Structure 1
Amino acid sequence: MNKQSYARISQQRQGGFTLIELIVVIVILGILAATALPKFVSMGADARVAALGGARGAIAAASSLGRGQFLVKGGTTYAAENTTVGIENGYPAASTAFITAAGLNEDFVVVNPGNSTAGTTGPVTSSTEIAVVPKSVQGTATAATCFIKYTAATTSAPPVITAVPAATGC
């Protein structure tokens, strides 16, 4: 074989990937995507659980603020976040004003006291309870199991903040 024919053959071989190589790369990418996708899907639930943890902390802080205001000034109300929150038994009452004072009305849906049906609107609440549900699950069946509930103080007990366990599939 002379130099000219060798140069012609090498010029013809310079091309892109073969069809087999492209198929192998696509299959490998498909396998990687199939293993990574479930991890990304479960991150939504993890994010909601983390957001509920933050909401629980905000409710506890707002409750402590209300309690402190009551101990220092007395009275039946206190002002926070441009709203007036009622005080019952020395702690904030379960009301939408209290949720506003906690700073949760932007990212959460409020389930008002006395909600008698659990479902896409959220959990059942008594007349002394209020709950918050992440807006991302509003209108879905998950709303009934993905919430933080604040039960107002009684004459013999401080308020109770009920957090939903992470295992509920929030």
Structure 2
Amino acid sequence: MKRQSGFTLIELIIVVIILGLLAATALPRFLNVTAQAEDASLQGIAGGFASAVGLVRAQWEVAGRPAGTAGVATVNYDGVNVGVDSNFGYPTGSGTVASVVGSVTAAECIAAFQSIFQSPPTANTTFNVNDSIFVRYAAPVCEFHQTAGLTAAPAAGILSTNGFTYNPQTGQVAIFLNKP
């Protein structure tokens, strides 16, 4: 007579209880993974932008602090002409606007963003969920808002989303992670 082998009902119940306990402790950890990924993505973009700002300024120094005209100069940054403020050397965009309060626009913020990145994320001054970054200028800083999870553009000067600011007068890049 052959003896049957297998799991008893008690053993199966114990395994199910152990799996339930593991799921109960692991599940909360994975629920917030999307928000953490969005935060990490933004921090990577902002960190790359800040590094590129420093490199453009260094190139301005190496080029002998070119004066340009009307407060705007350009430097060759890896084959791309980037507009910089002729007084301080920080990127201002297309090379047609000085970084004085009131003269930089959202379009110039995008131009600076796109010219110093090799492969920039999509950015636009008009809110669109298909773009990665929504850009606006709120004097004296450029605001770069992450659009993931948003349904409408945030109000000017309201940093209640995830994003970063860039001050073209000082070169300062500041991250804000306030998305609910």
Fold-level similarity (TM above 0.5): yes
Structure 2 CA distance for partners of 1:138 and 1:53, relative to 1, 3 Å: closer
Higher strand share: 2
CA 1:82/1:139 → structure 2, altered by over 3 Å: closer, same or farther?
Answer: farther
- Pick from 33, 37, 57: which aligns with 2:47? 57
Match of 1:129 among 110, 125, 142: 142
Given the superposition, is the C-alpha separation of residues 68 and 95 from structure 1 closer, same or farther in structure 2, using an over 3 Å criterion? same
Structure 2 distance, partners of 1:30, 1:138, is: 33
TM-score (norm 1): 0.64
Give % identity. Answer: 32
SS in 1 for 2:162: coil
Larger Rg: 1
- 1:25 maps to which of 10, 15, 34: 15
Cα gap change, 1:109 to 1:148, in 2 (>3 Å): farther
Instruction: Give 1:140-159 correspondences, 5 Å limit.
Output: 140-141=150-151, 145-153=161-169, 158-159=170-171
Whole-angstrom CA distance in 2 between matches of 1:49 and 1:142: 19
Whole-angstrom CA distance in 2 between matches of 1:147 and 1:161: 10
**Cα gap change, 1:103/1:124 in structure 2, threshold over 3 Å: closer, same or farther?**
closer
> More helix by proportion, 1 or 2?
1
Query: Where in structure 1 do 4 or more consecutive aligned residues deviate above 4 Å?
Result: 119-124, 141-144
Is there any run of 5+ residues in structure 2 with no aligned partner, and where?
A: 93-107, 155-160
TM-score w.r.t. structure 2 length? Answer: 0.61
Amino acid at match of 1:148: F
Tell me, yes or no, if structure 1 residue 86 matches structure 2 residue 83. yes
* 8 Å CA contact 1:66, 1:92 repeated in 2: yes
Tell me the amino acid that sits aligned with residue 26 of structure 1: V
Q: Answer yes or no: is 1:110 the counterpart of 2:123.
A: yes
Q: Specify whether residues 46 and 138 from structure 1 end up closer, same or farther in structure 2 by C-alpha distance, changes over 3 A only.
A: closer
Which amino acid counterpart does residue 151 of structure 1 have in structure 2? N
- Contact persistence 1:55–1:148 (CA under 8 A): no
Segments of 5+ residues of structure 1 without an aligned counterpart are 1-7
